[in-house]
């Protein structure tokens, strides 16, 4: 099948299967998997024009709702957390889109940029598995055990469904505290807003929506449990992706003189998105039965491999 915008020739089954496999695992860690699909498009499908970034965002728009639905249904959506992330990342998406078109149209330079972003994401996830990181987050580790135990009881008919829901205790400009499985988690909401503003620029340039960068920060720096933040990270990625796709589409005529494809390849993006929709729904559904450490290890190793490959190639 030929995709005219990207110039790619590939069987439609391949985007569906690849997106399903990627999103199934990454959605368990609170990320959509777009950060891994972009390297697949660049290196395997040879889709290297700026249009690959908004095409990746189309994948998010189609694929994420299934995972978000599962987290909302189970009461695992931290709404104030999602709001802070969205408010911070949205302005940066606009800046990132312009930066991608004006300064990173060259595939070689864009791959190096992608490699640097992936290097950070992978390193943070793997650091989270070290003894030092575990010692700093003993409460979150204990909560993960409680969560899996409770999930098992619910399978046997446990009636206390509300016990596993996220409950907001306090939300202000400088503090957000929520309760999850009898434990309180708190962090500076203003600090997170400033952090997500910078992340928005990176995600708008890359075409990932921001969740894959924010989630490791929430886990490794703020000490929040992966089971509690996954829904908020996915929801914020979904909304920022919508804005990103619209903006790339609007600026495409402005940069038509460059001869570059800038607007998304909707056909290819929707195919990836359908696979991602199924994968994220399944991943969100079974996340509670997978050890958090295994989730992070699998994602982290794959990311680091890709990062090193892209960074070395520029030399």
* Residue 38 · residue 114 · CB < 8 Å: yes
pLDDT at 270 over 90: yes
Tens digits of per-residue pLDDT, 59-97?
989 888 877 887 888 888 889 988 998 999 998 899 999
| C-alpha–C-alpha distance, residues 224 and 226, integer Å | 7
Of the candidates 186, 222, 232, 206, the residue with the CA atom closest to the CA atom of residue 79: 232
- The per-residue pLDDT for 160 is 46
Tens digits of per-residue pLDDT, 10-33?
999 999 999 999 888 877 766 677
Neighbours of 215 (CB within 10 A): 29
Say which range, 186-190, 206-210, 233-237, has the weakest mean pLDDT.
206-210
- The per-residue pLDDT for 305 is 86
- The per-residue pLDDT for 150 is 61
User: Where do the H-state alpha helices sit in 128-262?
Assistant: 131-136, 138-155, 189-206, 211-220, 226-251
- The per-residue pLDDT for 140 is 59
Pair of tokens at residue 47: 């889709």
């Amino acid at each position: 099948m030929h995709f005219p915008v990207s110039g790619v020739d590939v069987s439609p089954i391949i985007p569906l299967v690849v997106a399903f496999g990627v999103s199934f695992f990454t959605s368990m860690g609170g990320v959509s998997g777009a950060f891994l699909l972009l390297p697949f498009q660049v290196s395997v499908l040879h889709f290297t024009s700026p249009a690959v970034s908004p095409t990746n965002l189309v994948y998010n728009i189609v694929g994420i709702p299934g995972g978000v639905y599962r987290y909302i249904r189970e009461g695992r959506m931290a709404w104030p957390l999602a709001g802070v992330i969205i408010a911070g990342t949205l302005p940066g998406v606009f800046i990132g889109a312009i930066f991608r078109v004006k300064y990173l149209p060259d595939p070689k330079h864009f791959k190096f940029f992608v490699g640097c972003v992936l290097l950070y994401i992978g390193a943070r996830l793997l650091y989270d598995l070290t003894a030092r990181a575990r010692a700093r987050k003993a409460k979150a580790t204990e909560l993960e055990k409680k969560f899996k135990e409770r999930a098992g009881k619910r399978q046997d008919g446990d009636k206390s469904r509300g016990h596993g829901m996220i409950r907001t205790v306090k939300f202000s400009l400088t503090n957000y505290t929520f309760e999850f499985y009898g434990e309180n988690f708190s962090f500076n909401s203003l600090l997170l807003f400033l952090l997500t503003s910078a992340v928005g620029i990176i995600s708008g340039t890359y075409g990932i929506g921001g969740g894959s960068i924010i989630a490791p920060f929430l886990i490794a720096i703020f000490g929040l449990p992966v089971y509690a933040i996954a829904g908020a990270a996915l929801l914020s990625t979904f909304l920022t992706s919508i804005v990103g796709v619209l903006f790339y589409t609007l600026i495409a005529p402005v940069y038509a003189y460059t001869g570059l494809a800038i607007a998304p390849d909707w056909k290819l993006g929707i195919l990836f998105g359908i696979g991602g929709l199924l994968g994220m729904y399944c991943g969100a559904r079974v996340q509670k039965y997978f050890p958090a450490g295994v989730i992070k290890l699998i994602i982290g190793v794959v990311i680091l491999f890709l990062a090193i490959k892209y960074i070395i190639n520029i030399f």
